[in-house]
Amino acid sequence: MMADGQLKVLGCSGGFGKGHHTTSFLINESLLIDCGTGVGQLAHNELKKINHIFITHCHLDHIVSLPFLLDAVGVKRHRPLQVYASKTTIDAISNHIMNDLIWPNFTKIPSPDEASVVFFDVQAMSTWHLDGLKIYSYAVPHVVDALAYVIESSSGAIAFSGDTGYSKEFIDFLNTVDNLKHLIIETSFPDEEIELARISQHLCPSLLTSMLENLHSQAQIHLSHLKPGYEKKILDQVIHGSRRRISTLKNNQNLLF
């Protein structure tokens, strides 16, 4: 059976610099998960095809390309771009970025009746049916309100943790997902910085492998959001602590589900 879902990695780094693009994934040409600097890898005609964006949380590395995307194609669209996020994230974008000071308020451009973007408040455990896909949200622990997403096609499912601290509850939720083929999960720091990981509510290899012990699925595990310069050390530490199929996510990688 051929997969009906395809995720393309536009950006998956936990930092900024040459060769490093922050979090954004393109699914089946029309849907984005997060809107980091990786969106800049898309050509203008590809940007115009995006109809929906699901945002995990309001930190800049996950939302920075949204204002530029709206500036590039917002008024050229036949319908508003639909952005799905928690109320905290929507308020942060509205109050601190698209506030007619830092950036124009595209909810009123070209007019309030014909806006370039509309926002939808995503609650934890919400479900959306869009473009032949089913999207679930789940709240995960972070220093701001944060969401994980599961995207399900007719042939399988893929999950993305977003930024998260240790959460057995998230793994318990994933154990209810049928035919989970891939799990993209952040691992920001090496074990030497476990206290920083705990304070900032991120993961390090020992915290991640402890979580994965409770995962029933044999899904392929992909590490994301690794801090630049630590990629090899983090991967080596994760592989040493787990018997699962684990790899680091790469720019332009395609995952079928």
Q: What angle do CA 117, 121, 123 make, to 5 degrees?
A: 150
Q: How many CB atoms within 10 Å of residue 200? A: 14
Q: State both tokens at 102.
A: 């830092």
Question: What are residue 51's DSSP bridge partners?
Answer: none
Provide, for the chain, the percentages of residues in helix, strand and coil under a 3-state DSSP scheme, each rounded to the nearest 5. Answer: 30, 30, 40
Residue 61 annotated as catalytic: yes
CA 103 from chain center: how many Å?
23
H helices of the chain, in order, are 44-47, 60-63, 66-73, 87-96, 168-174, 194-200, 205-212, 231-241
Beta strand spans in 12-78 (E): 24-27, 31-33, 52-54
Residue among 4, 34, 61, 178 flagged as catalytic: 61
> What positions carry a catalytic annotation?
61
